[in-house]
Amino acid sequence: MGEEAGGYDFDFGGGGYGGYDGRVTEWETGLPGCDELTPLSQPLVPPGLAAAFRIPPEPGRTLLDVHRASSATVSRLRSTSSSPSSGNGNATGGGSFPSFPGKGAAAAGDDSSNRDNNSAESAGDKSAAATKRARLVWTPQLHKRFVEVVAHLGIKSAVPKTIMQLMNVEGLTRENVASHLQKYRLYVKRMQGLSNEGPSASDHIFASTPVPPSLREPQVPHAAAMAPAMYHHHPAPMGGVAAGHGGYYQQQHSGHAVYNGYGGHGGGGGVSSYPHYHHGDQ
């Protein structure tokens, strides 16, 4: 099923990058297409109907909420059924959540990551005693995910915490994202100056994923398009996808509907990616 439908589709399989890793097409036959699926962020009972039956309206769920919920589920699963010694099935498909030190070489297609985690730390250990984390390495896969999220958030709301949550990569911290974001913004700015193509060689990682059009400029609205604003205003509180980017409330017909990382992608489930870390010193 074509996930990369429009321009930027969240390819949140996380694993889909390489192409087909362990994808069993038989499992997919007869399943609805991605664009026929209703996003999780959308209430099952339409608001009108809900009102008619006095059903308390479901609180608006943003993509963010959905992701939070799924993370919660995953971590609950992890703590409940954690069978540490036996190693977690770190399947090729990537749908695995090896606990922390899961260094099991991540396999092919999925983006893999490893962290060096010095002291053995079980998943539930909250007494993190200032153990220094290994340096995160921004792989192209990780960066791609980052860019997708930033693009979908729009410049306004693309702030570290939100980005981090949406990326939903285990072990990724807000600081990691903040630092990367700082550099990325610089990169984007530097490149608009040189409107001509030409990611310089130094920009390894940033050049690995093209900067989405929505981020390329402050997206200054056309004066012409803006002028008649006094006539109608859009009552749409959050409905539509604003010009360049914007709402993550997805309209079914408008492009991407599948946001959750679960779908039947061969790749990893929503949470299956781990950042790469770099063995450090100290």
Partner DNA sequence: ATTAGAATAT
Partner DNA sequence: TATATTCTAA
CB nearer to DNA: pick between 14 and 154: 154
Q: Angle, nearest 10°, between helix axes 140-157 and 174-193?
A: 80
CB nearer to DNA: pick between 103 and 185: 185
Q: How far is the CB of 31 from DNA (least distance, A)?
A: 37
Question: Can you tell me the distance from the alpha carbon of 180 to that of 158, in angstroms, rounded to the nearest whole number?
Answer: 12
Which of 162, 208, 209, 251 contacts DNA by CB under 7 A? Answer: 162
Task: Rule CB under 7 A: say whether 68 interacts with DNA.
Answer: no
Task: Rule CB under 7 A: say whether 133 interacts with DNA.
Answer: yes
Distances (CA, A) of 200 to 187, 204, 207: 10, 8, 8
Task: Rule CB under 7 A: say whether 135 interacts with DNA.
Answer: yes
Under 8 Å CB-to-CB from 93, ≥6 apart: which residues?
15, 21, 22, 110, 266, 267, 268
Task: Rule CB under 7 A: say whether 204 interacts with DNA.
Answer: yes
- Strand, coil or helix: what is 69? helix
Of 94-102, 106-114, 172-180, 211-219, the window that binds DNA (rule: CB under 7 A) is 172-180
Question: Can you tell me the distance from the alpha carbon of 263 to that of 250, in angstroms, rounded to the nearest whole number?
Answer: 16
Question: Can you tell me the distance from the alpha carbon of 258 to that of 250, in angstroms, rounded to the nearest whole number?
Answer: 9
- Count residues binding DNA (CB under 7 A): 24
Task: Rule CB under 7 A: say whether 174 interacts with DNA.
Answer: yes
Task: Rule CB under 7 A: say whether 61 interacts with DNA.
Answer: no
Q: Where are the alpha helices (DSSP H) in 113-196?
A: 140-157, 160-167, 174-193
Which of 144, 145, 152, 180 contacts DNA by CB under 7 A? Answer: 180
Which of 205, 257, 258, 271 contacts DNA by CB under 7 A? Answer: 205
Please, what sign has the CA dihedral across residues 169, 173, 179, 181?
positive
Task: Rule CB under 7 A: say whether 175 interacts with DNA.
Answer: yes
Q: How far is the CB of 153 from DNA (least distance, A)?
A: 11
Distances (CA, A) of 46 to 49, 128, 247, 257: 5, 44, 19, 17
CB nearer to DNA: pick between 199 and 212: 199
Task: Rule CB under 7 A: say whether 114 interacts with DNA.
Answer: no
> Which residues here bind DNA, judged by CB under 7 A?
132-133, 135-138, 159-162, 174-176, 178-183, 185, 202-205
